[in-house]
Every structure is written in structure tokens, then in C-alpha cells.
Homo-oligomer: A and B are copies of this chain.
Amino acid sequence: MGDQAIAGNGRILLKHGAGGRAMRDLIRQIFLSDADAPLSDMIGPGAMDDGAALRLGDQWLVITTDSYVIQPPFFPGGDIGRLAIAGTVNDLAMMGATEPLALTCAVVIEEGFARRDLERIQESMRAACRQAGVAVVTGDTKVMGRGELDGIIINTAGVAFTREVITDRGLKPGDRIVVTGTIGDHGLAVMACRHDLGLDTPLCSDVAPLNSMVRVVLEGADGAVSAMKDPTRGGLASALHEMAEKSGVGIELDQAAIPLRQETLAVSELLGIDPLLAANEGKAVLGVRAEAAAEVVAALRGHPLGMQAAVIGTCVAERPGVIVLDTGFGRRILNEPEGEPLPRIC
């Protein structure tokens, strides 16, 4: 995005929706203000987590929302419908709320969109709901004129109760950083699809609802998980930066330990995109107390969606907010992306 990203001129740029620093700055400047100061008993907008949590008696009601604008709407490994269910279920799960109570679904469709495609998307949403153990309980449908919207946008919001909230800011020096599987698959699969690379083995998105996997971990390891986030737009690099900055810790990563599929690596080299910056839609990053790290990884590996879970780094007190990557040939600072390199990746 280069110059465009620097310019601005009072206009919204693609990077403002790209999940990185530019987006967070925009949200801070426009969408949050003193008027939105968190209520007491609320983990709210100021926290800029994956959702908000409201204290209700001895429980928290967690609420989250996302609009999905992915292009193309059908891609290897999934479609916008599966993404819209998994993405919102995962935002709830990342806050510790692994039993979603209900989802809403609002669809905006371009006039002329094929009815058959809408049916396929809806079937896919149903299947993802079954996998996550949740239902869409209410919805909305709008149609925009031909040329006023490129295809389809789906918004889902979700609510869930949880006794304990996990945030993305709980990392402490000494904590281990765990990822639940291979990195960059969604972003690079969608890019490969867009560029029609004609791969022998098509790279598939990892899009999946993670709540059942997270539940296993949280139930098995009481208090061991200090922070959680799903590395969607902006990828692992963006998620780790946000977690490190909010927690006030540095993170040292061991590049060799980061799980990466050969196909993903191949596409990333073809396209010149760092898989650490590419979106994931079926992975989580966890901060875990050092003494529980092996147990958490074992629990994850026992779940079909976590079989390649691994410890990839350690939190340190030095240089808060900085991510240092040990490449095996030396150490370098992993910069935070201004935003996801791809627009409309989710």
C-alpha cells in the first residue's frame, strides 16, 4: 500500500480495515472517546479486545461482532458462511466463552447475486453452527442495487456466558507463547485462489470454530492460560504485537518452532508474502504459564484442530511491546504490519 498508506488526506484507506496499527489508531481516534469510558464491571470498548464482557451476577456476558467481506466468497477450505460463524464463535472463545449462547446473522446482498450461491452459503453456515454447537436465532436481509456492493457481506454477532474472562493482555514475563497449529493458511489459501496459481495440491483455509478445542484446554488447565487471541487480519505478527503491547511484555520467538505447512511456505514464497503476516481463521495464540505449557500443548494435540500445537516463544520483561524473532541465523525484530497485506481477507 506504500504511499497510499502514508497519504491519508482525510479519507479512509484500505489499511484502516486491515487489522493492524492503522486500524487500531482509527478506532481509537474515531470510535472510542471519553464518552465510551468502560462502565464499571465491564471489559469494554477501551480494551479493544475481540469483544466486550459485561458482569451479570457471578457470570460475564461476552458479546462480539464482525462483518465478513471476503473476496471471493467461496475459497478452498471454506466460504464466507463458514467464516462468518467460525470467526464470531472464535472471538467469543478467545475471551474464554466457549459455549456460545446464540448468534445473529445480517446479510447484505448485491442485486443479481445467484440464489444458488446464497443457498450454498446458508448450508455452510448451518454446518459450521452444528460444529460449534450454536444456532443463529435472528437475522436481517438487505439488498443493494447492482454495482452498489461487490457480492455479499455477512455480519454475525454472538453472545455467551462465562464464569471467567480471558483477555489478550494477561501475558507475564516467563509465560510461554503457544500456537494451536500451522500459521498463515487462510490468508495464503485465499491469495493463491485469487491469483489462480494452479497448485498441484490446493492450499486450504484453516477456517474452523475453535470453541470445543479451547474448552478442552481451559477445563484441563485451571488458570494456566494467561491470554488468548486469534491471529486473523494481520496474522501472527499483528496478534503478538497487540498482546505484547497491552500486556507490557516483550516476546522472543523461535522461528524454527512455528508450525508451517510446506504448501503455505511455497505459496508465501511465490507471492512474496510473509506467512507470519497472513490471516488465520482456525488458530489461536495462547499465553501459558511456563509450568503448564507442556500439559496445554498435549491437551491441544489431543483435539483434531490442535494436532500441530507448539510452544513458539517466551515472554520477557525487557523491551515491552517488541517481538524478537530468532531465525536460527540470528535475531531480528519482527515489525508490526501497518495492516494485513491483503484487503478483504475475511
Contact = CB atoms under 8 A, between A and B. Distances in A.
A44 B138 contact: yes
Contacts of A36: 126, 135-136
Given A13-B143, A16-B143, A143-B18, A67 B155 contact: yes
A108 interface: yes
Interface in A61-108: 61, 63-67, 69, 71, 101-102, 104-108
Interface stretch (A112-120, A176-184, A310-318): A112-120
Contacts of A63: 102, 104, 137-138, 157, 159
Contacts of A17: 108-109, 141-144
Contacts of A61: 101, 159
Given A14-B111, A104-B65, A118-B12, A144 B30 contact: no
A322 B48 CA distance: 50
A248 interface: no
A106 B65 contact: yes
A102 B54 contact: yes
Number of chain copies forming the complex: 2
Interface string A1-25: 0000000001111111110000100
Contacts of A147: 150
A149 B13 CA distance: 13
A45 to B, nearest CB: 6
Contacts of A114: 10-12
A51 interface: yes
A187 to B, nearest CB: 15
B45 A111 contact: no
Nearest to A140: B66
A67 B13 contact: no
Contacts of A66: 106, 140
Contact of A11 (B27, B105, B112): B112
